[in-house]
């Protein structure tokens, strides 16, 4: 009986641990990201290590930002900023609360949002409100899966910002 209880307890703990999800930033690209050195690495290094980006955006100052979505859901996105001469300026995670807090309702545009966060997970339309909705999936500071919804009016300005817990998150976080 004691052995059966120990076996069941071991199975339950193993099951619980196997359901834990790693949230190491850039997990699929981590070893490649660590190889990129701002000021030294070049665009060819980025492509050879990380492949084709999910999206490339050209900035007004001539720099470009290459976005790499971590997975199909894009819950983590790496932004590699590259100078006009092809030198890597920075490599950073963009779907983080610190970056998201830079979006201001009534001020931030679709272009600024795209430059800051990269491509959204999903784009929808609210026809009665005449708004587009961009959805981003991210982890909060407590590693809980969250959904960021940004509503843009027809003039391309963020009008509403909402963050809700992802209803399919069964990680047990609060």
| 30 and 77 fall within a common domain | yes
Q: Give the pLDDT confidence of 96-113 residue by residue, as tens digits.
A: 999 999 999 999 999 999
| 173 and 115 fall within a common domain | yes
| 84 and 99 fall within a common domain | no
Q: Is the pTM of this model over 0.85?
A: no
Residue 162 falls inside a structural domain: yes
Q: How many helices (H) and strands (E) does the chain have?
A: 5, 8
Residue 11 falls inside a structural domain: no
User: If pLDDT is split at 50, 70 and 90, which confidence band does 122 have?
Assistant: very high
Q: Given this model, what pLDDT does residue 35 score?
A: 81
Residue range 39-54: mean pLDDT, rounded: 93
Residue 120 falls inside a structural domain: yes
Q: How far is CA 62 from the centre of its chain?
A: 24
CATH of the domain at 37: 3.30.1450
Let me know: does 36 contact 80? Beta carbons within 8 Å: yes
Q: Given this model, what pLDDT does residue 30 score?
A: 61
Q: Reply yes or no on whether the pLDDT at 12 is more than 70.
A: no
Domains in the chain, number: 2
Residue 113 falls inside a structural domain: yes
Let me know: does 76 contact 95? Beta carbons within 8 Å: yes
Residue 125 falls inside a structural domain: yes
Residue range 39-45: mean pLDDT, rounded: 94
Residue 172 falls inside a structural domain: yes
Q: Given this model, what pLDDT does residue 27 score?
A: 53
Q: Reply yes or no on whether the pLDDT at 10 is more than 60.
A: no
CATH of the domain at 139: 3.30.1450.10
| 89 and 105 fall within a common domain | no
Residue 87 falls inside a structural domain: yes
Residue 71 falls inside a structural domain: yes
Give the range of the structural domain holding residue 147, as residue numbers without chain letter: 95-174
Q: Which two tokens stand for residue 126?
A: 């609210």
Residue range 42-60: mean pLDDT, rounded: 93
Domain end: 42, 65, 93, which one? 93
Q: Given this model, what pLDDT does residue 70 score?
A: 76
Residue of 15 and 155 predicted with greater confidence: 155
Q: Given this model, what pLDDT does residue 23 score?
A: 41
The neighbouring-strand residues paired with 145 are: 139
Q: Across the chain, what does the average pLDDT equal?
A: 83
H helical segments located in the chain: 2-18, 30-35, 43-50, 97-100, 110-117
Helix, strand or coil for residue 52?
coil
User: If pLDDT is split at 50, 70 and 90, which confidence band does 6 have?
Assistant: very low
Let me know: does 136 contact 74? Beta carbons within 8 Å: yes
């Amino acid at each position: 009986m004691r052995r059966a209880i120990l076996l069941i307890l071991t199975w339950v703990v193993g099951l619980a641990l196997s359901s834990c999800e790693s949230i190491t930033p850039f997990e699929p690209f981590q070893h490649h990201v660590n190889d990129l050195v701002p000021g030294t690495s070049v665009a060819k290094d980025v492509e050879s290590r990380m492949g084709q980006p999910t999206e490339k955006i050209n900035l007004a100052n001539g720099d470009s930002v290459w976005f790499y979505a971590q997975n199909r859901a894009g819950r983590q996105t790496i932004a590699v900023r590259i100078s006009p001469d092809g030198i890597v300026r920075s490599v950073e995670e963009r779907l983080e609360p610190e970056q998201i807090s830079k979006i201001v309702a009534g001020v931030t545009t679709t272009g600024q949002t795209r430059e800051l966060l990269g491509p959204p997970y999903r784009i929808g339309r609210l026809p009665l409100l005449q708004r587009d909705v961009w959805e981003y999936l991210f982890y909060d500071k407590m590693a809980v899966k969250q959904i960021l919804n940004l509503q843009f009016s027809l003039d391309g300005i963020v009008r509403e910002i909402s963050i809700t817990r992802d209803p399919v998150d069964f990680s047990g976080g609060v």
